[in-house]
């Protein structure tokens, strides 16, 4: 079987976008991510309420993203992955956020969702590519006879890790490690590289 890698994005290759928005705006609640809240719909609805309450628009978020760079070593690690395997970034971020970030990372393939934005630039909602998209992506790829190694850091990655031939936690918070002890834990790209190589041997 051909090996294929599926990875998360935020917290793995780039810093958490919403945490950076929280730091820029001073809105503490925007620091909550899928590391803290397992129900993505609950999390996103709350974020949209906060944006409305503070009159924050898409441009405000995009201004923050413009200053976000990949994590140290991420670009080189993505280059290594792409030179040895097929890589698909499977993220719960949005097309609008992803484009400038993928440019900084050399344009890897990404599957993600889409924000709904009105003519004033207000974010009115979001459209999921599909429900449980990460798990379904891996299931679809395995149905095509790919052997999938997947890694991520948060609650919303667990379905993807469970569906993969090998799931790996990368730099996860302690609560996720405690709840999902079946997955090996890596803390840096060197550890992750070694485990990927062992998984595809």
pLDDT of residue 37: 83
Say whether pLDDT at 143 is over 80. Answer: yes
Euclidean distance between CA atoms 104 and 49, whole angstroms: 30
Strands (E), 36-177: 86-94, 109-117, 123-127, 146-152, 166-170
pLDDT of residue 40: 87
pLDDT of residue 60: 95
Q: What is the mean pLDDT of the chain?
A: 95
Burial 17-53 (b: 16+ CB within 10 A, else e): bbbbbbeebebeebebbbbebeebeebbeebbebbee
Q: What is the mean pLDDT of residues 130-141?
A: 95
Residues 80-84: contacts with CB within 8 Å, 24+ apart? 80/193, 81/5, 81/7, 81/196, 82/106, 82/108
The model's pLDDT over 34-73, given as tens digits with 9 standing for 90+, comes to 888 888 889 999 999 999 999 999 999 999 999 999 999 9
Say whether pLDDT at 175 is over 80. Answer: yes
Classify 124 as helix, strand or coil: strand
Closest CA to 61 of 94, 28, 106: 94
Domain ranges in the chain are 2-16+68-146
Active site residue 10: yes
66 Cα distance to chain centroid = 17
The model's pLDDT over 91-124, given as tens digits with 9 standing for 90+, comes to 999 999 999 999 999 999 999 999 999 999 999 9
Count helices and strands in the chain by DSSP H and E runs: 9, 7
Residues 13 and 7: beta-carbon distance below 8 Å = yes
pLDDT of residue 16: 92
The highest-confidence range among 27-31, 40-44, 78-82, by mean pLDDT, is 78-82
Euclidean distance between CA atoms 170 and 63, whole angstroms: 28
Euclidean distance between CA atoms 38 and 155, whole angstroms: 5
Q: Which of 8, 16, 153, 157 is catalytic?
A: 8
CATH of range 2-16+68-146; options 3.40.50.1000, 3.40.50.880, 3.30.479.30, 3.40.1280.10: 3.40.50.1000
Percent above pLDDT 90 for the chain: 91
Say whether pLDDT at 1 is over 90. Answer: no
- End-to-end CA gap in the chain: 11
């Amino acid at each position: 079987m051909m090996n294929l890698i599926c990875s998360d994005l935020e917290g793995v290759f780039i810093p958490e976008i919403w945490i950076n928005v929280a730091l820029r705006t001073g809105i503490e609640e925007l620091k909550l991510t899928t590391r803290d809240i397992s129900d993505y719909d609950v999390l996103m609805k709350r974020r949209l309420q906060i944006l409305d309450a503070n009159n924050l628009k898409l441009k405000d978020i995009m201004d923050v993203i413009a200053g976000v760079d990949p994590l140290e070593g991420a670009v080189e690690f993505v280059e290594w992955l792409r030179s040895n395997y097929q890589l698909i970034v499977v993220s719960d971020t949005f097309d609008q956020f992803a484009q400038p970030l993928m440019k900084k990372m050399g344009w890897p393939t990404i599957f993600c969702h889409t924000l709904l934005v009105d003519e004033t630039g207000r974010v009115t909602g979001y459209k999921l590519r599909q429900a449980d998209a990460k798990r379904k992506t891996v299931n679809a790829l395995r149905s095509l006879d790919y052997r999938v190694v997947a890694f991520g850091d948060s609650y919303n990655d667990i379905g993807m890790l469970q569906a993969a031939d090998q799931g790996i936690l990368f730099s996860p918070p302690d609560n996720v490690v405690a709840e999902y002890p079946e997955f090996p834990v890596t803390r840096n790209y060197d550890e992750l590289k070694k485990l990927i190589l062992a998984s595809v041997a």
